Chain A
C-alpha cells in the first residue's frame, strides 16, 4: 500500500541524482517519501509515454523501508543509498521475469543476477521496476510491437529513440533518477539525445556485461542514463570495474572519479568537417557549432577536422553485429520465428547471410582500424564532438517502416552517427545541446580515446556548468 504523497515531495523528483543521494545520506529526505513520490508520478504519467513494462510498487516500497531503517541505525549501504532507479528489462535478476522486450522471453525468469544490478544493490539503490525497450534491443527507434511503443516525453507523437527507450523516457519524465541501458550501436546515446538527457556509452571493457542480455558480444556495452552528467558519473563510479564473470573487463584501467581527473587545462577538441556533415540538418549543425563555442569559452582549443576511418568503422558494423546476433537467436529463429515482430526478424535474418570469412575479416580489421584512428585523429585532438542524430527526432508515424523496402535505409541512416564508435570500442558521452524547430531535443556525443571515460565526464560536467539544456523539463511533466 502506497501512502498519499505530499505534492511538495513530487518536486523532489526534479532534483538531480547527486543532490537527492546527498539528502538521503544526511536524512533530509526519506527513501519512503521519494519512492512513493516516484510511484505516484509513474501512475499519473506513464500511460502517456509507456516507459515501464512492469512497476514493482510493493517491492520498491519494501526496499525503501529497509533503506530508511538502515540509515536510522547509522548504516549507509553506499553512494546510492535509498535512491529510486529503474532499468531496461534486459538485466537479469534471479527469479524475476526478464522479457528483453520480447514475446519469446515473456515469463522467463533467469537464475542469476547481473553484476551491474548486484553493484547497484550493494550501493543501496532502490529498483522501481523494469523498463521498456526495443525487442531484444534490436532497433534504434524505440518501437515495440509486444509491449507498446515508448513515446517521447517532449511530445508523445515522436519516437523516444532506442533501444534503451524506456530508460531515456522514464528519466526525462522524472519517473526515476537514473537507469541502466545498453549500447551496441546507438542504444544509450540515441534515446538519451532524443529525450534530452545524458548517457554514457563506456569504453568496451569498463563495465561488466555479465547477466545482461547479449546482442553482439564484440560490441555490447552497458551504460547509465540520467538527467545530468554528474548523475551519470555517480552511477558509473558504482558499476564500473573488473568482474570475474566478464573476461572483457580484465586488465581494464580503474575508473577514476571525474572530480579527480587531472585534465589538461586546455583540451584539443575537434568538430567534424567530414562524415557527420553529410545530410546534417541545419538546426543540428547550428547546435553543434554552439556547443563548440561553449567549449571554447571554457578555454579549450576547438577546431574542425576530418575523420578518416569513421566510414569504414560503419561498414564493419553489420559484418560483426549481424552474425553474432543471428547466432544467438538461431534456435528461436528456427523454432518460433512467428514470435518476433517482422522488422526484428528481418534484421536478425540479415546476419545469417554474412559469410564467415567476412565476419572474421571484419574482426581482424577492427584492431588495425582502431590503431589508425588513434594515430590519425586522437593525436590531433583529445575529444571529438559530433551529433548523435543528423535529423530532428521524427514522429512515430514518419518512421514506422516495419520490414518494408525502406527498412534497411531508414535504420542505417539513424545508426550511422553512432555505430562506428562501438566498432572502435571508444567511449562516448551523450549530452543535451538544445532543441530543433519541432521542439524536440538535440544531443551531441563527446567521443574520446579508450579509457578516457572520466575525462569525458569531467568535460561534460564543465559543459553543463555553462549550459542549462540538461535542466529543461518536458512541458507535460514540468
Chain B
C-alpha cells in the first residue's frame, strides 16, 4: 500500500474528527494534500497532525472514542497509533487562539485526550478544504502554516525537512497568500519576526534533500519574500 493510500485511509478513519468544527489537518502532510489529487510525493514522517481548537476539545474527545483501526498510544496519549499497516499515526495537537505569545505552550490535561497546546498554532485559520477520495479535508490557509513553520526551531535534519515543507507551501501559495504572510508578520513580536527571517535565510542556502523540492531554483522567490517581510516589519533587520 503506497503512502498516499495510507494517508487517505487514515483520514477516512478519523472522518468524524475532521467534521468537528475548527479541526484542521496541519503540519507536514498539508503540502502533500495540496498537491493535485493529494499526490503526496513529499517524503515526510509517517504521521498526520490534527489541530484541535481547545473549544472543540470535548467534541473531538467524543469522536476519538469511536475511532476504528486506531488506538491510543500508552506512551503518548495524544497520539493514536494504527492497528494495521494500512494506516499511519494520528497526532492530536491543541490550538488556543487566546495564546498570542507565539513561543508559549501548555498542557491541556485530560484523562482521555491530553493535548500539547502551542502558541505558534494560534495563527492558523481554516482555508479552502481539500476535496479528495470522497473526503472533505479541512486544512489551514497557507499563510498561517508558512509562518507557523518558520517561527519555531528548525535545527537538525528534521528542521531542514520542515523548512523544505515551507518551500513546498510557497510553491503552491498565491500572491494573495504571500501578502497575507507579510500582513500577519508585521504584527508579530520582534523576536518572532527575527526567527522567521533567520529560518528563511537557512532555507535559501539548504542543499537538496531526497524526496523534497529542490530550493536552488527557487532562491530568488525566497529572497523576494525575505525582502517583502523586511519591508513589512519596518526598519529593524
Chains A and B form a bound pair? no
Q: Which residues of chain A have a CB within 8 Å of any CB of chain B? A: none
Q: Which residues of chain B have a CB within 8 Å of any CB of chain A? A: none
